[in-house]
Chain A
Amino acid sequence: MTNPAYWLDRKFGLRNHTIAHYAWVIVAIAGVVQMVGAAIRMAFGVLVDPLVESFGWTPGSIGIAYALMSIVTALASPIAGYLGNRFGARKTMAVGTALFFIGMMWTSQTSAIWELYVAYGTVFGIAQALLLVPVVPAVAAWFRRHLGLGTGIMMVSWSLGPALVVQVLAVLFETVGWSSAFVIVGVVGTGILAFVLIYFRNTPEDANRIAYGTLTNDKPLVTEGSVFVSTQKEFQRFVYKTNAFWNLINIHFLGCVGHAVILVGIIPMAINKGVGPLTAAGVLTTISVISVSTRFITPILSDKFSAKTVMFLSFFGQGVGVFLLFTADSALDFYVFAVLWSIPYGGEGTAFPVVNRQYFGHFPIGTTYGWQLLGAGLGMALGGAIPGLVFDITGTYAWAIGLSAAFSLAGAVGIALLEPTRHQLIPAWPEMEAGPIGATAPEENRTLSPEAGD
Chain B
Amino acid sequence: MNPAVEFRNVTKVYRRRFSRQKIAALSDVSFDVHAGEVCAFLGPNGAGKTTTISILMGFFYADSGEVRVLGYEPGDVRAKRQIGFLPENFAFYKYLDAEKLLSLHCILAERTNGDRGTIVHDLLTKVRLEQFQGLKISKYSRGMVQRLGLAQALLGEPKLLVLDEPTSGLDPAGRKDVRDLILSLRAAGNTIFLSSHILSDVEQISDRAVIIDRGKVVRAGSMNELLGTSGRVEIVVNQLPESMDATVAGWNGSVERGSRGVKISIAEDKKREAIETLWAAGCDVISLAPVRGSLEELFLTLVAGDGGAA
* A and B bind: no
A interface vs B, CB < 8 Å? none
